[in-house]
Every structure is written in C-alpha cells, then in structure tokens.
Chain A
Amino acid sequence: MTVNDQLNRDPFCDPRVHLSRRTLLGAGGGGLMMSAIARRLAWADEQGLTDTAKPKSVILLWLQGGPSQLETFDPHPGGMYGGDSSSINTSVKGLKISDLLPQTAEQMHLASLIRSVTSKEGDHERAVYNIKTGYRPDPTLKHPSVGAVLCHADQGGADIPRHISIVPSGFPGRGGYLGAGYDAFKIYDPAQPVPDIRRSVPEPRFQQRIADLYDVVESEFQRGRLQQLEKTRTLHRTVTDGAMRMMSSQQLDAFEVSSEPKEVRESFGDSAFGRGALAASRLIEVGARCVEVSLGGWDSHITNHSLQSSACDKLDPALSALLKRLEERDLLDSTLVVCGGEFGRTPTINPAEGRDHWPHGFSVLLAGCGIRRGAVHGETAGKPTLDPDKPMADIVDPVTVGDLHATILTALDVDFEEELETPIGRPMKRSEGKPIKAILDS
C-alpha cells in the first residue's frame, strides 16, 4: 500500500467507536441539535456500522487543588466549622448541597454523592497520583491512571486518541506501567484548535515530505538492522500513519464546540472548563473512552470562601449542563461522570480565613453507568472531634480511594480484580479496593 493509498482511505470506520441507535434517534429527534457528527453517525447506523455493545466511557471533572467538601457537596452550615456557606435543597428530597452550586442542585437526582472518601495523602502531587491511579506513589512502579486502565481493558479503535485530557493540570492521566501509549492526549481550551493537528505546509508538499521520509530515509535505516524493525521495535510508520489519519479525521469535529448552538455553549458557562465539559460530551460520542477536564483554583489556604465561590461559579454550570445533556441524549447509561479532587479541606478555618488540606473525609460525585440516582453514601460529622490520632472517628461509612476505583471500574464493566502484569512481571490488580455497593444499582 502506497502512502497515498493509505491517506486516501476513508478515515471513518471502526464501528466499535460509535453511538447506539437509541442515542442517535435521540440526537436526531433534536432536529436542529443534530450536529455534523450526529449526521455522520446516523449514516453509519444506517449502514450497520454502529454497535450497541459500545464500551462505556468516563468523564472526569477534575478539581485540581482540593475542593472544600464544606463549600460543595457536604456543607455543615452554622457552627464553628461551617464557614460562610449555607446549604440549599436539591432535586432529591432531603439532600442538601452548598448554595454555591444552585444549578447542580437541580440535577442531583441524576447523581450519587460519596461524602466519606479517605486517603493518607495530604500533599498535592502524591494525592493526585493516589486519586487518579487508585494507588499510593511507589518509587518502584508508576501506576496507570483510570483512563489508561480503561483504554487498556478495551482496545477499540478510533481515529482520535481515546484518553484525552482537556485543560490539563500539572498531572494529566498517565499510562504508567501500561506504557506511554496510554498517556492522555492533551488539549487546552477547546476554543483554540487542537495542538499540532494542522499541517504547516500545503497538502502536496506534506505528502512529498512523507514519501521522502518513508521511501528514502526510513528504508535506508532499516537496511541490515534488526529483523522487522518497524513491526517489532520502532512502529514509526504505523504511528505516523495513525497521526495522519487523525489529522484528516472527521472525528476531530468533536473538539469543535463552536459548532454547538449558542444556548448550548452558554449553558456550560463561558470558561475553558465549561467548553471542556461540552467537548468531553462530544468526544465520548465518537469513541473517546476517558476524557478528563480540569478546573483549578481550589487550593484555598487563604480566603477560602472567596476562592471556593469563584471556582464553583465555573463548576456549577458545566457540571449541571453536562449531566443534563448526557441524560437528554440518552448517554448517561453508557457514560460515568466523576467529579472530585485530590482531597478535601479542613473543617477548621485557619487565621488567614483559609482551609488547609484534608484527606480524612471528602466528597466525590458520581453519575451514570448504573450508579444509583439521588443516593448519598457516607457522612462526615458536623462537629468533628478532630482527634489527630483518630482521624476516622468523625466519618460514617468511610471508603478508600481504592474502593472508589473499584466502584468506577465495576460501573464500567471492567473486572477490577483482574491482575495486569507490570513490565518486570509483577502481578498487579487493576484496583485493590472494594466496590461501594450502596451506590451501585444491583
């Protein structure tokens, strides 16, 4: 196959990456809402190219810096620890969350809250590693983040990368011992073009460069060297071809949130995070397995209430619009939304009116993929004893970070106990936790 043959082949193709018929009908019913992607998918469905057994996806709304549980999903207004926040009713009877998240409150019937996550990591870098991988940092091994684990568990194809990090924080999802091939593909504010995806020279000139690369320089490099050098070692041409398929793929449209109607864009909020959440919902429709969207600004050691309020202003529209959109497009059965950060913040308020790092009882929101709707698991005390020797004393039904991962993997139909093999042959379970049955539909 020549270079041109490869580049001319239809980039649209692997049925495993596309939508279910039900979703397509939902999208089609929206009339004007039907985007170019949806039309393309509808065509694929007619051709029998879509598959109802599409693997489930996860959207991780990553709150970098440590959101305060007291100002988000676990308020204890009044008293010495409540701070300036108050609580509001939600769409779930008896469930209250912070008044800083009014729009999210209206969508809580779609989600479950875990209010008792605990870990042993109080440093940002180590805690991020812990929450994203389910394991504590280990100098002898780099664990894969949950997105990498999911992509590894299901090797479906797509022209675009299946593990994506939007507005990446300092610690985007990594492939760890599964390899750099599972690292998240990083893009920044979706208002900007995807990085490095556009050729810097016209197509004919680019094609000639590729032809010279393959036919002259690469063939000379292979001469007399290791047998099947390309196939068994460098994969240079294979991956270059993949990159070129992506460059010309119509699936790239999924990154283009500007093609969405104005009211849809506005509903997610005018922020990179909001646009990222919208792009995430589009990306999972074309085969992305894990999309992580990061929002910073939560590390409120000083003026806690002001900083948390400001961050909530961005989180609230994006999270609520995302849940609403997924539900409307019939995607919440096949998409898990996870919203949380590396730890919570102290009940006590420091002299700078800030809250410090607190891994002993913080909140994570989960929605979709068989997660019970409107449920709450765990509880933190409104008046904690704060005995440093007994940090768990103030928590009802504590869960570990490992439990959280086991729950996520179970919701996504991935065997969390299956052992993977590290490069040195060490068997390692995908997760060493236990699924939180209380929030999983049986």
Chain B
Amino acid sequence: MSKLRDGATTSLRWSWFGLLVLLAFGYLVGGLSGTRQSKLNASPDATMNGSHVVDSDPMSAVHRIQESLRSSVEEIDVERQQRLASLSLDYAEPADWLTICRRLSLALVGNGLSLEEIRSLEKIEESKRERTHLENLLTDQRFHHYWAERWTRFLVGTDGGQFIVYRRRRFRIWLAEVFASNQRYDRMVRELLTAEGLWTDKPQVNFLTATFDSNDGKADPIRLAARTSRVFLGLRIDCLQCHNDFLGNVNLGEESDLREGTQQDFHQLAAFFTSAKTNGLQGVRDGEVEYAYKYLNDAEETDVQVAVPFLPELLPEKGKPRARLAAWVTHPENIQAARATVSHVWALMFGRSMGESVDNLPLDEPCHPMMDLLARDFVAHGFDLRRLIRVIAASEAFRADSRADFEINSEHEQNFAVFPLVRLRPEQVAGAIIQAARIKTTDRESSLFLQLQTLTGTNDFVTQYGDIGEDEFTSESITITQRLLMMNGKLLRDLVESNPLLNASAHVRMFANDTSQIVDLLYLSALNRYPTPSEKKHFVSRIDCSDNAEKATEDLVWVLLNSSELAWNH
C-alpha cells in the first residue's frame, strides 16, 4: 500500500514538475509568434484581435486629432505644390498605405511593421489605416525608447564620458519618459539648460556632465556652447571659437542687419555655462558667471560677459544666467530655435534633412517655407512634438511615392516631389531584419527569449555593421563588411533558418494554406508589401519545384533580407 502511495506521490510530483515546465515553456515562447491560423491568413479580411487601437468610429479621438491638423497640413501642401510648380517639376502620387505605414514605423520605432500589425490594420477601412497606425505608434513604448536614443545622440553624443559623473543610460531613460508623457518641448529644453543637482538623481544634469571629461571635472562651456548652438539654435558656429568669421559662413546679429560672426558671439554664449558650478556631493549648482578668455590677437584675457548671438531683446534682463538663456532659447518669438527643432524632427521622419543640413540653418539664408510654417505651427500649438510629427506625417511630402511614371532625378527628391530614398541606419537595419523574421511585434512585451535575442543580436550586429555614432543623417554608402555580415553573418543565419520556435520562415510554412500564401506572408514580413505577380510566380515556382521546400523557403527569406529594399527607406 505504501508503495502504491509512494508511487502516486512520485507521479503527482512529476506531474507538477511537468506542468511547471510546460508553463515555463509557454511563458518563454508566449508572444514569439501567433499560432492561430487566423493571424496568419493572407486575406486582408481575416478577423483577428489586434493589440492596438482599431479606428471604427469616425468621430473617435484619432479622427478629431486629424481634423485639428487639417489647415496646417493644407498650408504645407500648398507651399510644396507652389514650389514644385515654380520649378516645373512633376510629382509622384501618394504611396500605398503599407509603404507609408512602413515609413512611420521606421521613423518612430526604428523597424518595419510586423505581420501582426499589418493584419490588425487590414481589418479597418483603408482610409483610416495610416492615422490609426500613427496614433498606435505615438503611444507605443518602442517609440519613446527609440526616440530617446536618437535624441540622446543629438543632445550628448555617443561618447562614454566620465563614468563617475556621467550616466548616459539614465539620461536616455529620462528622455523616454519625456516622450512617453508628451511633455512640452520647451519645458524639456529649459530642464536641460538649467539642470541642477546630481547626475544620478536628476538625469537631465547629464547634459552638462557629459562634457566634464574635457574640462577637468567641470562643465565645459566651449562644448556646451557648440552643442547648444547646433541643437537648439540650428547654427554651426564652432569656427568662431578660435577666430572671427572671415568667409561669410556665419552671420549673426539683428535680423535686419546681419553681420559676420565674431569670437565674442561664441564665447559670450559659452559664458552662460560657466555659471554651472560643480559642488561636490550636491552635484551641479548655479553660481556666478566667471569666464576669462584671450581672443585671437589680443595680448590679454578678457572677462567675458553673457550675451546671445541674435535677438538680444528676447533675453530676460534678470534671473539666473542659465535660466535667462533657457528663456531666450524657448521664447515663442525665437523662431530660429523652433526651426532647429522642426529640422531635427523632419530629419527623423524622413531620414534626411529638409535642406542641406539638419543643424545648420544660416540666418542669412531664406528659410524653407515648409520649415517656417511648421516652426510657427509648433510654437502656436504649445511646442507639441506629437502634433509636429502628425502634421509632417499627414503632409503630401511624407506621403508621396518614391516611384513615378516620369524619370526621377535628385532634384525631385530635394524638393520632395517624390519621397527620397534613404539608407537605414545600422540599428534600423538590425531592427528591420529581426522584425522581418518574426510574425509578431518585437517589443518589451515580447518573451524573454525574444528580448534576449533581440538585445544581443542587435548589439552585436550594430557593432559589426558599424555604428555611425551621432552622425545621424550622413549619407553613407554600404560597405563590404556590411554585405558580408548580411550574406553570411550569424544573426542572418539564425533568422533565416527554419526555426519553429522563433522564425517566420518556419511559422508561415506551418500555417499557410499553400505556397502562394507562403510567398505573400514572407514578403509582408520582410518588405511590408505584397509580391508583384511576377515575383510571386517566380518564387512559388521556385519553392514548388524544389526538392526541399523548407530550404527553398529559407532561401526566399535570405533573398528578401539581403535586398536593398529592406535596407532602404522608400
């Protein structure tokens, strides 16, 4: 009897153990892929419970938001049309919704759409898909974290700095919180410029401490002036650090009476930051401006007083030095500062600048009319970054196709007659190929397996691929290292192989009804579009005629992941 009881106990224990293992397995693979056929059905009419907003009510919040943008978007579109007409340039029709949604995903979360997202959007009326996708992305934590990293590069660069006094990660997380709460942009700027306290306690202080390594443990006024000028004012005045402008490159002063920039312009701006004192355990504290500098050709040092390089009437007369600077930068009439922000957001959306440079908008050159309109709209609507993104996303410039029935040249791209072709950044490529090989959206809700693989895979890949650092919008050409990595690298091998636990190549074979659907699903996952009839015919035949359909499917995934279409925004 006791043996029987022991046996029953043992078997109960094993059952519990088995159940636990099953639960653990289920938890780990949960979110790896949709296993219901309905999620993978290639038909746009398939029913599936999406995880995001589904816009079925025309008077919904999404609809109201779009309505509030209408007049601003129309103004921008009119400017574009007038410019194109004056240049006698043809322009492309709007792209299809999938292409536009892919652009939105690349801009806001750094990778393409998941098949899950596509299926969710296909359930709603086509005219509402773009805006629904945009609203989904704006509240998606992937957006907050991705933009936080992009802005961190812009605001403090990619250098490690002095670990003791600089915490880049904390700074990035603070920015993610700023984007998640849709905090006003002008408030964010003020918090950065006037930051006080410890870098561990007040993450925004790291904007200052990032420069400690070049100034003996103190805020470096030179670097901060250069950074402030580029980031918040859209002006590159670095050359004025050492000499007056003599080439006519930097013009400053009154709008109606611009003059060549001087060393004084640079160092008077730098002087604001000398009021940021390091006070031991208290971190950064406000103090007096103390700045002596020996200008070129001068025999002695000058005590430099604070001043701004243009629009001096907007600088408050009283207050702490950095607070005065912050008030000037964020003053609603400092439209140059607003243009700088628009320029950066535009570049994040398109992957390239509106004009020649993202962070150099010379005061003596006419501002692009679209940028000026966007800047004034940005200020008029409370420095709302999300609104700015929405207006750009709804513009004809953003929605234009990158192909047309006329011959496209670079002039069409420069004037946004077509959507410009832009190579993805390394982490976008990594994100795109990892997402492409999945069925579901990869995010912080994903399983531990997937998060781990995404994290390590992305980091290793980006390191090998060549991180371009804070040179955010350089137009780099592809390298042999990158092609080798894409053709033969471990991440690609892992993603291409028929792994039933992780990869789309196996999932679609398991759940698709026929080869035609396999090809559709793989194209949607990788390139976010359906194959053309000739592509479909070719690859269906390739798989059907193969001795090993599994390997032929892997080959198709490899081809799609290695295409320039995947690696470019279009």
| Min CB–CB distance B516 → chain A (angstroms) | 16
Docked Cα-Cα span, A238 to B557, in Å, equals 22
Do residues B408 and A227 form an inter-chain contact, with CB atoms below 8 A? yes
Do residues B477 and A242 form an inter-chain contact, with CB atoms below 8 A? no
Which residue of chain B has the shortest Cβ distance to A221 in the bound complex?
B565
Do residues A200 and B493 form an inter-chain contact, with CB atoms below 8 A? yes
Which residue of chain A has the shortest Cβ distance to B214 in the bound complex?
A126
Do residues A196 and B565 form an inter-chain contact, with CB atoms below 8 A? no
Q: Are A198 and B483 CB-contacts (below 8 A) given A181-B477, A183-B466, A225-B402?
A: no
Docked Cα-Cα span, A197 to B464, in Å, equals 13
| Min CB–CB distance B482 → chain A (angstroms) | 8
Do residues A200 and B488 form an inter-chain contact, with CB atoms below 8 A? yes
Could you say which residues of chain B place their CB within 8 Å of the CB of A233?
Answer: 421
Could you say which residues of chain B place their CB within 8 Å of the CB of A227?
Answer: 407-409
Do residues A197 and B409 form an inter-chain contact, with CB atoms below 8 A? no
Could you say which residues of chain B place their CB within 8 Å of the CB of A179?
Answer: 474, 476-477
Do residues B357 and A181 form an inter-chain contact, with CB atoms below 8 A? no
Do residues A180 and B468 form an inter-chain contact, with CB atoms below 8 A? yes
Docked Cα-Cα span, A126 to B555, in Å, equals 44
Of B7-15, B46-54, B133-141, B531-539, the one touching chain A: B531-539
Docked Cα-Cα span, A221 to B99, in Å, equals 13
Q: Are A196 and B421 CB-contacts (below 8 A) given A137-B159, A181-B479, A213-B562?
A: no
- Residues 133 to 166 of chain A near chain B (Cβ within 8 Å): 137-140, 142, 161
Q: Is B551 an interface residue (CB 8 A)?
A: yes
Do residues B538 and A240 form an inter-chain contact, with CB atoms below 8 A? no
Which residue of chain B has the shortest Cβ distance to A140 in the bound complex?
B238
Could you say which residues of chain A place their CB within 8 Å of the CB of B469?
Answer: 142
Do residues B564 and A236 form an inter-chain contact, with CB atoms below 8 A? yes
- Residues 202 to 228 of chain A near chain B (Cβ within 8 Å): 205, 208-209, 212-213, 216-218, 220-221, 223-227
Could you say which residues of chain B place their CB within 8 Å of the CB of A198?
Answer: 488
Docked Cα-Cα span, A178 to B418, in Å, equals 28
| Min CB–CB distance A162 → chain B (angstroms) | 11
Q: Is A376 an interface residue (CB 8 A)?
A: no
Could you say which residues of chain B place their CB within 8 Å of the CB of A137?
Answer: 159, 214
Which residue of chain B has the shortest Cβ distance to A427 in the bound complex?
B247
Instruction: Select the residue from B477, B484, B570 with max chain A CB neighbours within 10 A.
Output: B484
Docked Cα-Cα span, A140 to B469, in Å, equals 12
Q: Is A12 an interface residue (CB 8 A)?
A: no
Classify chain A: how many residues form its interface, as a range.
35 or more
| Min CB–CB distance B463 → chain A (angstroms) | 9
Which residue of chain B has the shortest Cβ distance to A179 in the bound complex?
B476
Q: Is B43 an interface residue (CB 8 A)?
A: no
The 8 A CB mask of B461-494 against A (1 = contact, 0 = none) is 0001010111100101111111111011100010
Could you say which residues of chain B place their CB within 8 Å of the CB of A239?
Answer: 477-480, 482-483
| Min CB–CB distance A326 → chain B (angstroms) | 27
Docked Cα-Cα span, A279 to B71, in Å, equals 65
Which residue of chain B has the shortest Cβ distance to A224 in the bound complex?
B403
Docked Cα-Cα span, A186 to B482, in Å, equals 11
Which residue of chain A has the shortest Cβ distance to B548 in the bound complex?
A205
| Min CB–CB distance B354 → chain A (angstroms) | 15
Do residues A226 and B409 form an inter-chain contact, with CB atoms below 8 A? yes
Instruction: Select the residue from B538, B565, B570 with max chain A CB neighbours within 10 A.
Output: B565
Do residues A212 and B484 form an inter-chain contact, with CB atoms below 8 A? no
Q: Is A397 an interface residue (CB 8 A)?
A: no
Do residues B563 and A218 form an inter-chain contact, with CB atoms below 8 A? yes
Of B83-91, B122-130, B222-230, the one touching chain A: B222-230
For B484, give its contact among A181, A196, A226, A229 (CB under 8 Å): A196
For A212, give its contact among B227, B483, B493, B559 (CB under 8 Å): B559
Q: Are A235 and B478 CB-contacts (below 8 A) given A140-B230, A196-B488, A226-B421?
A: yes
Could you say which residues of chain A place their CB within 8 Å of the CB of B468?
Answer: 180
Do residues A161 and B236 form an inter-chain contact, with CB atoms below 8 A? no
Q: Is B568 an interface residue (CB 8 A)?
A: yes
Docked Cα-Cα span, A180 to B483, in Å, equals 13
Do residues B230 and A139 form an inter-chain contact, with CB atoms below 8 A? yes
Could you say which residues of chain B place their CB within 8 Å of the CB of A217?
Answer: 535, 559-560, 563, 565
Q: Is A423 an interface residue (CB 8 A)?
A: yes
| Min CB–CB distance A343 → chain B (angstroms) | 13
Docked Cα-Cα span, A180 to B465, in Å, equals 10
Do residues B480 and A243 form an inter-chain contact, with CB atoms below 8 A? yes
For A180, give its contact among B230, B476, B555 (CB under 8 Å): B476
Q: Is B542 an interface residue (CB 8 A)?
A: yes
Could you say which residues of chain A place their CB within 8 Å of the CB of B223?
Answer: 139
Q: Is A31 an interface residue (CB 8 A)?
A: no
The 8 A CB mask of A177-199 against B (1 = contact, 0 = none) is 00111010110000000011111
Could you say which residues of chain B place their CB within 8 Å of the CB of A49?
Answer: none
| Min CB–CB distance B103 → chain A (angstroms) | 15
- Residues 48 to 98 of chain B near chain A (Cβ within 8 Å): none
Could you say which residues of chain A place their CB within 8 Å of the CB of B478?
Answer: 234-236, 239
| Min CB–CB distance A275 → chain B (angstroms) | 21
Which residue of chain A has the shortest Cβ distance to B231 in the bound complex?
A139
The 8 A CB mask of B543-570 against A (1 = contact, 0 = none) is 0000000010001101110111101101
Q: Are A125 and B160 CB-contacts (below 8 A) given A196-B487, A224-B404, A226-B421?
A: yes
Could you say which residues of chain B place their CB within 8 Å of the CB of A195?
Answer: 464, 484, 489
Could you say which residues of chain B place their CB within 8 Å of the CB of A208?
Answer: 555
Could you say which residues of chain A place their CB within 8 Å of the CB of B409?
Answer: 226-227
For B403, give its contact among A185, A209, A223 (CB under 8 Å): A223
For B488, give its contact among A199, A213, A242, A424 (CB under 8 Å): A199
Q: Is B317 an interface residue (CB 8 A)?
A: no
Docked Cα-Cα span, A226 to B412, in Å, equals 9
Q: Is A302 an interface residue (CB 8 A)?
A: no
Q: Is B372 an interface residue (CB 8 A)?
A: no
Which residue of chain B has the shortest Cβ distance to A232 in the bound complex?
B410
- Residues 141 to 177 of chain B near chain A (Cβ within 8 Å): 157, 159-162
| Min CB–CB distance B402 → chain A (angstroms) | 6
Could you say which residues of chain B place their CB within 8 Å of the CB of A138?
Answer: 238
| Min CB–CB distance B33 → chain A (angstroms) | 23
Q: Is A123 an interface residue (CB 8 A)?
A: yes
Docked Cα-Cα span, A299 to B408, in Å, equals 55
Docked Cα-Cα span, A213 to B223, in Å, equals 47
| Min CB–CB distance B417 → chain A (angstroms) | 12
Q: Is B245 an interface residue (CB 8 A)?
A: no
For A183, give its contact among B470, B479, B489 (CB under 8 Å): B479
Do residues B559 and A224 form an inter-chain contact, with CB atoms below 8 A? no
Docked Cα-Cα span, A183 to B474, in Å, equals 14
Q: Is A13 an interface residue (CB 8 A)?
A: no
Q: Is A247 an interface residue (CB 8 A)?
A: yes
Could you say which residues of chain B place their CB within 8 Å of the CB of A247?
Answer: 484, 488
Could you say which residues of chain A place their CB within 8 Å of the CB of B535?
Answer: 216-217, 220
Do residues B483 and A140 form an inter-chain contact, with CB atoms below 8 A? no
Which residue of chain A has the shortest Cβ distance to B531 in the bound complex?
A220
Q: Is B413 an interface residue (CB 8 A)?
A: yes
For A123, give its contact among B213, B403, B479, B564 (CB under 8 Å): B213
Docked Cα-Cα span, A413 to B404, in Å, equals 49
Could you say which residues of chain B place their CB within 8 Å of the CB of A180?
Answer: 466, 468, 476-477, 479
Q: Is A246 an interface residue (CB 8 A)?
A: yes
Could you say which residues of chain B place their CB within 8 Å of the CB of A221?
Answer: 563-565, 570
Docked Cα-Cα span, A235 to B539, in Å, equals 25
| Min CB–CB distance A422 → chain B (angstroms) | 11
| Min CB–CB distance A6 → chain B (angstroms) | 14
Do residues A197 and B555 form an inter-chain contact, with CB atoms below 8 A? no
| Min CB–CB distance A106 → chain B (angstroms) | 38
Q: Is B405 an interface residue (CB 8 A)?
A: yes
Do residues A196 and B563 form an inter-chain contact, with CB atoms below 8 A? no
Do residues A123 and B162 form an inter-chain contact, with CB atoms below 8 A? yes
Identify the B interface with A (CB < 8 A): 157, 159-162, 213-214, 223, 226-227, 230, 236, 238, 356-357, 360, 402-405, 407-410, 413, 418, 421, 423, 464, 466, 468-471, 474, 476-485, 487-489, 493, 532, 534-535, 538-539, 542, 551, 555-556, 558-560, 562-565, 567-568, 570
Beyond A229-B421, A239-B480, 4 additional contacts (C-beta under 8 Å) are A139-B157, A199-B488, A239-B478, A239-B479
Minimum-distance CB pairs A-B, first 4 = A224-B403, A243-B483, A236-B564, A196-B484
